Amino acid sequence: MSDENLLSRRGLFMKIGFLFNGLVAAALAVPIVRFVVSSVTRGRAYLSWVPLGRVNDFPEGETRLATFRNPYVMPADGKTVDTACWVRRIEGEQFQVFAVNCAHLGCPVRWFPQSGLFMCPCHGGVYYRDGSRASGPPERGLFEYPYKVDNGLVTIQAGELPTPGASLALVGKKPPCQS
Amino acid sequence: MPVLKQIGEWFEQRLGVAAGIRESVEHPVPRSTASWWYVFGSAALVVFCLQLVTGILLALVYVPSASEAWSSLQALNHDVTLGWFIRALHGWGSNFMVAIVLIHMVQVYLFGAYKFPRELTWIVGIFLLLMTLGMAFSGQVLRFDQDAYWGLGIGASIASRVPIAGPAIVKLMLGGPIIAGATLTRFFALHVFVIPGLLIGFVCLHLLMVLKLGINEWPMPGRLVKRATYTAEYHELIRKDGMPFFPYAVWKDLFFAAAVLLAVAACAVYFGPFGPTGRPDPTIIQTVPRPDYFFLWLYAVLSLLPPSLETPALLIGPVVVIVVLLLLPFLSGEGEKSWRRRPIAVLTVLLVAVALGTFTRLADVAPWSPQMNAWSGAAIPQRFLHGTSALQRQGALVFQAKQCRNCHALGESGGQRGPSLDRVAVRLTQDQLIRQVIQGGGNMPAYGKNLSPAETTALVAFLETLHPPGQRPARDAARDLVLNESQDQKPSEQPAQTPQR
CB-CB under 8 Å, B156 with A159 = no
CA distances from A50 to A97, A146, A157 (A): 12, 11, 6
Fill in the amino acid letter for A121.
P
Q: Considering only CA atoms, which of B444, B442, B381 is closest in space to residue B409?
A: B381
The DSSP bridge pattern shows strands A126-128 and A153-158 to be unpaired
CB-CB under 8 Å, B161 with A160 = no
Q: Give one DSSP letter per residue of B363-390, joined into a string.
A: HHH-TTS--TTHHHHSPPPGGGTTT--H
Provide the residue ranges of all domains of chain A, joining segments of one domain with +. Answer: 9-40, 48-171
- CB of B32 closer than 8 Å to CB of B240: no
- CB of B149 closer than 8 Å to CB of B290: no
- For residue A104, which phi and psi values (nearest 5 degrees)? -80, -70
For residue A12, is it left (φ>0), alpha (ψ between -120 and 50) or beta?
alpha
Q: What is the mean pLDDT of each run of 10 residues along chain B (501 residues)?
A: 90 91 88 90 96 97 94 95 96 96 96 94 97 95 93 91 90 92 95 97 96 91 91 92 87 95 97 91 87 86 84 90 96 92 95 95 86 84 87 91 89 86 89 90 86 91 89 84 71 46 42
- For residue B214, which phi and psi values (nearest 5 degrees)? 85, 150
Shortest Cα distance from A7 to chain B (angstroms)?
Answer: 37
CB-CB under 8 Å, B160 with A166 = yes
Q: With an 8 Å Cβ cutoff, is B429 touching chain A? A: no
Shortest Cα distance from A37 to chain B (angstroms)?
Answer: 6
> What is the 3 state secondary structure string of B26-46?
CCEEEHHHCCHHHCHHHHHHH
Q: With an 8 Å Cβ cutoff, is B312 touching chain A? A: no
CB-CB under 8 Å, B446 with A112 = no
- CB of B225 closer than 8 Å to CB of B113: no
Shortest Cα distance from A104 to chain B (angstroms)?
Answer: 8
Q: What is the ipTM of this complex?
A: 0.87
CB-CB under 8 Å, A78 with B285 = no
Cis preceding linkage at B64, omega within 30: no
Nearest CA in chain A to B175: A39
Q: What is the pLDDT of residue B305?
A: 86
Cα–Cα distance, A118 to A132 (Å, whole number): 10
Q: What is the pLDDT of residue A170?
A: 46
Extract long-range pairs of B352-357: CB within 8 Å, 24+ residues apart.
B353/B106, B355/B297, B356/B297
Fill in the amino acid letter for B370.
P
Cα–Cα distance, B157 to B166 (Å, whole number): 9
Angle at B419 (CA atoms; ends B435, B369), nearest 5 degrees: 115
CA distances from B47 to A25, B89, B292 (A): 38, 10, 19
Contacts of A137 in chain B (CB under 8 A): 302-303, 305, 307, 310
The DSSP bridge pattern shows strands A147-150 and A153-158 to be antiparallel
- CB of B169 closer than 8 Å to CB of A33: no
CA B391 to chain centre: 47
Q: What is the pLDDT of residue A4?
A: 66
CB-CB under 8 Å, A122 with B369 = yes
Q: How many CB atoms lie within 10 A of CB B184?
A: 30
Handedness of CA B452, B454, B457, B460 (dihedral sign): negative
H helical segments located in B160-194: 166-174, 181-189
Model confidence at A5: pLDDT above 80: no
- Spelled out in words, what is the top-level CATH class assigned to the domain A48-171? mainly beta
Cα–Cα distance, A128 to B312 (Å, whole number): 27
Cα–Cα distance, A13 to A19 (Å, whole number): 10
Shortest Cα distance from A92 to chain B (angstroms)?
Answer: 21
Fill in the amino acid letter for B83.
G
CB-CB under 8 Å, B172 with A128 = no
Cα–Cα distance, A51 to A155 (Å, whole number): 4
Mean pLDDT of A95-110: 93
CB-CB under 8 Å, B182 with A39 = yes
CB-CB under 8 Å, B368 with A123 = yes
Cis preceding linkage at A71, omega within 30: no
Q: With an 8 Å Cβ cutoff, is B167 touching chain A? A: yes
Q: Considering only CA atoms, which of B100, B110, B102, B32 is closest in space to residue B332?
A: B110
Q: Considering only CA atoms, which of B103, B169, B161, B100 is closest in space to residue B136?
A: B100
Model confidence at A2: pLDDT above 70: no
The DSSP bridge pattern shows strands A82-91 and A63-69 to be antiparallel
- The full set of domains in chain B, from first to last, is 2-349 (1.20.810.10), 374-489 (1.10.760.10)
The DSSP bridge pattern shows strands A144-145 and A147-150 to be unpaired
> The sheet that has A117-119: what strands, in order across it?
A110-112, A117-119, A126-128, A133-135
Cα–Cα distance, B2 to B358 (Å, whole number): 61
Q: What kind and span of H or E run contains B474?
A: none
Cα–Cα distance, A85 to A109 (Å, whole number): 10
Q: What is the pLDDT of residue A177?
A: 46
Q: Considering only CA atoms, which of B481, B479, B477, B475 is closest in space to residue B429?
A: B475
How many CA atoms lie within 13 Å of B110's alpha carbon, on the beta-carbon side?
16
Q: With an 8 Å Cβ cutoff, is B402 touching chain A? A: yes
- CB of A118 closer than 8 Å to CB of A86: yes
How many CA atoms lie within 13 Å of B392's alpha carbon, on the beta-carbon side?
17
- Pick A40's closest partner by Cβ from B171, B279, B280: B171
Cα–Cα distance, A63 to A87 (Å, whole number): 5
Q: Considering only CA atoms, which of B153, B261, B128 is closest in space to residue B207?
A: B128
pLDDT digits (tens, 9 = 90+) for A140-172: 899 999 999 988 999 999 988 998 875 444 444
CA distances from B471 to B406, B423, B467, B485 (A): 27, 10, 7, 27
Cα–Cα distance, B299 to B137 (Å, whole number): 13
Handedness of CA B285, B291, B296, B301 (dihedral sign): negative
Cα–Cα distance, B211 to B114 (Å, whole number): 15
Shortest Cα distance from A110 to chain B (angstroms)?
Answer: 7
CB-CB under 8 Å, A72 with B286 = no
